[in-house]
Structure 1
Amino acid sequence: MTGLSWDASYQDGPAPWDVGRPQQAIVRLGAAGGFAGAVLDAGCGGGENALHVAALGFSVLGVDVAETALARARAKAAERGTDVAFIAADALQLELLSRKFETVLDSGLFHSFDADERPAYVASLASVTEHGGTLYVLCFSDEGPDTGPHPVSRNELYTAFDGGGWRIATIEADRIETRFHDDGAPAWLATINRI
């Protein structure tokens, strides 16, 4: 995964998935007490989800390959006085962080990997998720009208996270807000436990 192609998405203004606020699914998770311990936001983009979770009182690290997005996220953190670290990292090599997290958030990243890349991504996530920790995946769903690009089936989530030290707790229908969908695109919100 090259950072240059992702960075280009941020060069001429906000990326299609950068809606200027945290995803409502993430806000609801926070309100329900869904976050615990140190939190990793994998593919954090402009940082809105990471900033929201940090404002709830959690230690958050946001990682992305897009330097322009990271620069914007750091500027928002400074402007808001929110303590969040944002660093460049490849989601396929998260073990290089040499850290573990009790909660890992993937908002809009899983669906960007094709079937051949997913095993490496899942292994990368496993390398940074504490045993007993929780992974949340918010991705485009293949069910419903006006789906987003690269929609994922429920079965694809089960295939990716069935076994190998993971247990899917729930997969629920939700929405991903984008600049092209008035009320969001159909999505899955998966809660996955590291065992």
Structure 2
Amino acid sequence: MKETIYDYEDLLKMLDSLLREPTQFWDTFYSDREKGVPFFANFPDENLVSYFEKKLFIPGKVLELGCGPGRNAIYFAEKGCTVDAVDLSQESLKWAEERANEKSVSVNFINENIFELDIAEGTYDIVYDSGCLHHIAPHRRMSYIDLVKKALKPNGFFAITCFVQGGEFGGAGISDWEVYRLRSLKGGLGYTDEKLRSIFKDFKEIEIRKMKEIKQPNKVFGVPDLMTALFQKY
């Protein structure tokens, strides 16, 4: 009876089991801190920095989905925000806590599956995602959108950074149906401005563009193989 599908949630969990990387995968991924992963750099996304510089973002309550080692969550905290930062990997959050302590900032790091979060409606001024969406299978996309809508206050902002289709670091250009034929996200799905605009059509579009390349060393992070987008809840 364990593998019987009784309801929609059972269906989602069955599809998850075919496609989702297990928690152990992400713990192993973050355990080697010296490998050459660009976003292991301890600097915030250039697009995030620009939102504060343009006064689009002001200090408020923030939810970050898939925070990894915490570089963006820490930046939000440095800007005066109250931050809840969620990740599936204990190893990534251990690293994030160390970084936050080094910078003497307070972030509420939460070790949880984002789809199991218990969030009161209209809690956050900003929802931020840098690198989570492209690892979410199509069958969970509706749940993801519902989560963002529920979390945000009216007129709250939702910002995302994800793989560009065919990018250097990932960005499979396969259809949603092909994901299930292959039983794989091919390392992460790729997005275009048109696809992001279509997926998040229920939000007001503020900006969609490729991330700017930032030469290192620098105090911000930017590589040209990522898409960035900023939306606002109606």
TM-score (norm 2): 0.71
Decide which structure has the larger Cα Rg and report it.
2
Number of corresponding residues:
187
**Comparing 106-115 and 45-54, the one that deviates more:** 106-115
Shift in alpha-carbon separation, 1:137–1:189, aligned structure 2, 3 A: same
Shift in alpha-carbon separation, 1:176–1:126, aligned structure 2, 3 A: farther
Shift in alpha-carbon separation, 1:39–1:58, aligned structure 2, 3 A: same
Instruction: Please name the residue that 1:34 is paired with.
Output: 56
**Comparing 119-128 and 28-37, the one that deviates more:** 28-37
- Relative to its length, the structure with more strand (as a share) is 1
State the Cα deviation string for residues 63-91 of structure 1 (Å, max 9, x = none): 11111111111111122111111111222
Structure 1 position 151 matched with structure 2 position 190: yes
**Which residue identity lines up with residue 35 of structure 1 in the other structure?**
F
Identical-pair percentage: 24
Structure 1 position 132 matched with structure 2 position 155: yes
Structure 2: how far apart are the matches of 1:122 and 1:5?
Answer: 25
Structure 2: how far apart are the matches of 1:124 and 1:154?
Answer: 21
State the Cα deviation string for residues 91-115 of structure 1 (Å, max 9, x = none): 2233x13361001111111111132
2:65–2:114 contact (8 Å) kept in structure 1:
yes
Instruction: Please name the residue that 1:187 is paired with.
Output: 226
SS in 1 for 2:145: helix
Structure 2: how far apart are the matches of 1:14 and 1:28?
Answer: 28
SS in 1 for 2:208: strand
Listed as ranges, the gaps of 5+ residues in structure 1 are none
Shift in alpha-carbon separation, 1:14–1:67, aligned structure 2, 3 A: farther
Shift in alpha-carbon separation, 1:184–1:8, aligned structure 2, 3 A: same
Instruction: Please name the residue that 2:75 is paired with.
Output: 52
Tell me the CA shift for residue 194 of structure 1: 1.1
Tell me the CA shift for residue 147 of structure 1: 5.7
RMSD: 2.4
Structure 1: how far apart are the matches of 2:198 and 2:83?
Answer: 29
1:140–1:176 contact (8 Å) kept in structure 2:
no
Structure 2: how far apart are the matches of 1:160 and 1:176?
Answer: 25
Structure 1 position 107 matched with structure 2 position 107: no
2:204–2:232 contact (8 Å) kept in structure 1:
yes
Tell me the CA shift for residue 172 of structure 1: 1.8
